[in-house]
Amino acid sequence: MTTLHKERYEQLVVDVLTKGGLSQEQAEAAAEVMGYADQRGIESHGLILLKTYIERIKQKIIVGNPAYKWDLHLPNVAVLDGASGMGHFMGKIAMEEAIKKAKEHTIGLVFVKNTSHYGASGYYTELAAKHGMIGFSTTNTFPLMAPTGGAERVLGNNPISFSVPRENENPIILDIATSVVAAGKLLVAESKNETIPEGWAIDKNGQPTTDPHAGYLGGGSLLPMASHKGYGLALVMDVLAGVLAGSGYGTKVGHSTIGYVMMAINVNHIMPEQEFYARVEDLTGMVQSSRKAVGTEKIYLPGELEYVKQADREENGFKLSEKLYAEIEYLAEELGLDVAQYFR
């Protein structure tokens, strides 16, 4: 009863979001990106956020039919005003536009402003990799993280993602938050009644905590990865996605004033595609054939373990915790949907 397979997963998300007031095209994009996250084991960006999205649609923080528009449209640069629309939809439009520009002008760079949470960054950069391009994306977020030496939220845990295409292999996908972990991991831990490791977060008083509620929903702050390094990266990503994009930044970021950057680099315009692929394989071969530490059987490339998990979940489905299933069941019934139809 608690296993969802891909098609029914996406149908559940689309039905809930459209019943909640979101347009069909926005709901379909959200279902695709959320499904990508849960299939890859990035559960902090999947179904666990469905209730939050519905609440934000009801509050009109996310607009059901946004009047989004292009504020700037140059040959290889554009700025999209998302008009408080669903982030997954705006992110997909933006990366598709970056890819289109890169096909003609080598590099496509698109900024997005005034929109909402877009989910897993790797989804968007993988779109570029599927076109034989290197993809890059960052977004700022509602303040979640204290700077190094600070005791309150002032920056988002602004993620960074790159995807590198490979020939006849899954792309290399780096998708990291600039905090030690994403906020959603604290939500997942709380939903499972688990503690979190010390070093992930501080409580509202600036003290270390192992309580996921105290570290996030209870007013605490996430901590930057690698101390000042993560803090510095988060700040620079905020300059790109917030300041330069014309969106909110720092403590001025709200749930509908988030900004993104999407970039695609057309490898074939810089060197022959086959030469690039051969050089990538040479590099990854060096890495994976290097001497292993004691107890290590294999050195994985960024994103490789997530593809392993995806293959398993495509075959066997995505399993929900009892708490998440109960939440989805309640949410669906509140919107007039029979949740059982999705779990058959």
pLDDT, tens only, 72-94:
999 999 999 999 999 999 999 99
Rounded CA-CA distance 271/309 in Å is: 33
Pick from 34, 55, 47, 56: which is nearest to 343 by CA? 47
Query: Do 203 and 335 reside in the same domain of the chain?
Result: no
pLDDT digits over 272-306, tens only?
A: 999 999 999 999 999 999 999 999 999 999 999 99
CATH of the domain at 205: 3.30.60.50
Residue 344 has pLDDT above 80, yes or no: no
Percent of the chain with pLDDT over 70: 100
pLDDT band at 1 (very low <50, low <70, confident <90, very high): low
CATH of the domain at 325: 1.10.1530.10
Task: Check: CB of residue 82 under 8 Å from CB of residue 113.
Answer: yes
Rounded CA-CA distance 52/214 in Å is: 19
Task: Please report the pLDDT score of residue 213 as a whole number.
Answer: 97
Task: Please report the pLDDT score of residue 262 as a whole number.
Answer: 99
CATH of the domain at 80: 3.30.1370.60
Task: Please report the pLDDT score of residue 291 as a whole number.
Answer: 97
The residues that are catalytic are 117
Task: Please report the pLDDT score of residue 182 as a whole number.
Answer: 86
Rounded CA-CA distance 149/131 in Å is: 42
Domain hosting 205: range is 183-223
Q: Find residue 169's DSSP bridge partners.
A: 166
Pick from 211, 191, 184, 218: which is nearest to 326 by CA? 191
CA geometry: angle 266, 269, 272, nearest 5 deg: 105
Query: Do 175 and 247 reside in the same domain of the chain?
Result: yes
What's the whole-number mean pLDDT along residues 16-31?
A: 98
